[in-house]
């Protein structure tokens, strides 16, 4: 018989300590109802990275993105402030801005030409005279909460949570990230990957404390000291870090230098990976219950022409590691659908981050189901 969504959520024991815990059940990765509830809760109630600040350098610069099926536009206004709006025209709901990013003096809907200022006010409504009880002032684009943090613009779809990004992330994390001076790094390139798996498979793979590194990523393994891997869990984040060894595989060692590799995961779907003078971020975007897009942005301290070849080599190393992860994630998704698998145990040494992720998911879903 079909289990109710409540039964599926309650089949995970969030109170078990790591040494007794199992993963979330396989149905969480395959059930359409869980996927829908995640959009309403996990992705609508959290702060979500929507754009990079460097994409919005001057007034009129904008970025569009869909988050949890909501079309969103982030734009820098004439007053230099960054704002976010639902990218749905107040006339008949068409997307007002249709390019992934660009610059525009105003926001004009391509359907019937309604125009909005960069601050979201409705300015132009062709052929609309004689319409009764129509208040232009109440028909601007609907704003959405937004905030800047480090190199990113974050938005939150659900209103009324009244918590800034910094307080939501917690001082522990924001102090640590501030000390890394990430603003000294400049954006270099974006790569987008589509993976045949539920979004949580990718996050689990990221959060296994390096467990898979010696088996799946031989090149990366050669520059990391696997035995000294450290896993630190905060309120809504996990830092996995590893000392670097200089004697590893040549192509990897040349582009992954410094004392430590730092891998920050921020619940639910953003990762910041730092080596010396190098950073890449991963934004995990659920597309369907078994399809996920991951956006990689690569940043370097030096993005001059002289450094270009070295930067491209670094991106290529990241690309190779990513291909290895894509294949294993698709394999896991197939296994999760098998009648033979329901849940698995967690390594106490390695998988504390995954345990945190699963408990946070449980809290999000539980709160969602209680409020419906
Ligand atoms: S839907 Fe935008 S102008 Fe009609
Ligand atoms: Fe990996």
DSSP alpha helices (H): ranges in 210-258? 213-216, 218-221, 250-255
Cα of 204 from ligand 2 centre, angstroms? 10
Q: Is the CB of 109 under 6 A from ligand 1?
A: yes
Q: Whose CA is nearest to atom 3 of ligand 1?
A: 112
Instruction: Determine the distance separating the centroid of ligand 1 and the alpha carbon of 113, expressed in angstroms.
Output: 6
Q: Is 239 in the pocket of ligand 1 (CB under 6 A)?
A: no
pLDDT at residue number 162: 77
- Residue 103, judged by CB atoms within 10 A of its CB (0-12, 13-18, 19+), counts as middle
Pocket test for ligand 1, best of 88, 89, 108, 115 (most atoms within 8 A of CB): 89
Q: Would you call 137 exposed, middle or buried from its count of C-beta atoms within 10 A (0-12, 13-18, 19+)? A: exposed
In whole angstroms, give the CA distance from residue 225 to residue 335: 30
Number of Cβ atoms within 10 Å of the Cβ of 359? 19
Q: Are 109 and 168 in contact (CB under 8 A)?
A: no
Nearest alpha carbon, ligand 1 atom 1: 92
Is the model's pLDDT at 89 over the cut of 90? yes
CA–CA separation, 210 vs 206, rounded Å? 8
* Token pair recorded at residue 276: 């010396």
d(CA 77, CA 56): 10
Q: Return the percentage of the chain with pLDDT > 90, whole number.
A: 86
Distance 292 CA to ligand 2 centre (A): 16
Ligand 2 centroid vs 156 CA: distance in angstroms?
29
d(CA 243, CA 262): 9
Residue 297 has pLDDT above 80, yes or no: yes
Measured in Å, residue 75 CA sits from the centre of ligand 2 at 34
Q: In this structure, are residues 93 and 105 in contact, taking their beta carbons and an 8 Å threshold?
A: no
Burial class (CB in 10 A: 0-12, 13-18, 19+), 132: exposed
Pairwise CA distance, residues 175 & 195, whole Å: 33
Query: What is the rounded average pLDDT of the residues 91-116?
Result: 98
> pLDDT tens digits for 56-83?
999 999 999 999 999 999 999 999 999 9
- pLDDT score of 152: 98
The reply to whether ligand 1 has any atom less than 6 angstroms from the CB of 116 is no
C-beta 91 within 6 A of ligand 1 = yes
> Does ligand 1 lie within 6 Å of residue 20's CB atom?
no
pLDDT (0 to 100) of residue 250: 63
User: What's the average model confidence in pLDDT over 158-162?
Assistant: 80
Nearest ligand to the C-alpha of residue 206?
2
pTM above 0.85, yes or no: yes
108, burial (CB in 10 Å: exposed 0-12, middle 13-18, buried 19+): middle
Predicted pLDDT of residue 347:
97
Q: Is the CB of 260 under 6 A from ligand 1?
A: no
């Amino acid at each position: 018989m079909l289990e109710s969504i409540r039964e599926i959520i309650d089949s995970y024991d969030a109170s078990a300590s790591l040494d007794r815990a199992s993963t979330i059940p396989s149905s969480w990765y395959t059930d359409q109802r869980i996927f829908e509830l995640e959009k309403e809760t996990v992705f609508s109630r959290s702060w979500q990275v929507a754009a990079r600040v460097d994409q919005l350098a001057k007034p009129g610069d904008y970025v569009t993105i869909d988050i949890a099926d909501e079309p969103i536009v982030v734009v820098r206004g004439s007053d230099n402030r960054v704002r976010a709006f639902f990218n749905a025209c107040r006339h008949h709901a068409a997307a007002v801005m249709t390019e992934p990013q660009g610059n525009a003096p105003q926001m004009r809907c391509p359907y019937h030409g309604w125009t909005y200022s960069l601050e979201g006010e409705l300015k132009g409504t062709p052929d609309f005279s004689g319409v009764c009880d129509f208040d232009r002032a109440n028909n601007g684009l609907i704003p959405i909460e937004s905030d800047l943090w480090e190199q990113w613009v974050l938005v939150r779809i659900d209103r009324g949570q009244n918590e800034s990004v910094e307080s939501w992330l917690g001082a522990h994390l924001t102090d640590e990230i501030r000390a890394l001076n990430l603003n000294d790094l400049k954006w270099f390139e974006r790569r987008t990957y589509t993976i045949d798996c539920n979004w949580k498979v990718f996050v689990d793979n990221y959060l296994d404390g390096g467990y898979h590194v010696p088996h799946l990523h031989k090149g990366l393994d050669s520059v990391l000291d696997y035995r000294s891997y450290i896993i630190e869990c905060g309120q809504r984040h996990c830092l996995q870090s590893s000392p670097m060894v200089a004697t590893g595989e040549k192509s990897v060692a040349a582009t992954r230098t410094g004392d430590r590799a730092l891998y920050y995961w921020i619940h639910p779907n953003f990762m910041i990976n730092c080596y010396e003078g190098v950073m890449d971020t991963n934004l995990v975007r659920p597309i369907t219950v078994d399809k996920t897009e991951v956006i990689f942005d690569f940043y370097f301290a030096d993005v001059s022409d002289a450094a270009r070849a070295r930067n491209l080599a670094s991106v290529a190393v990241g690309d190779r590691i990513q291909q290895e992860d894509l294949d294993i994630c698709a394999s896991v998704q197939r296994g999760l659908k098998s009648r033979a698998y329901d849940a698995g145990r967690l390594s106490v040494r390695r998988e504390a981050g995954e345990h945190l992720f699963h408990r946070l998911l449980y809290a999000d879903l539980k709160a969602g189901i209680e409020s419906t």
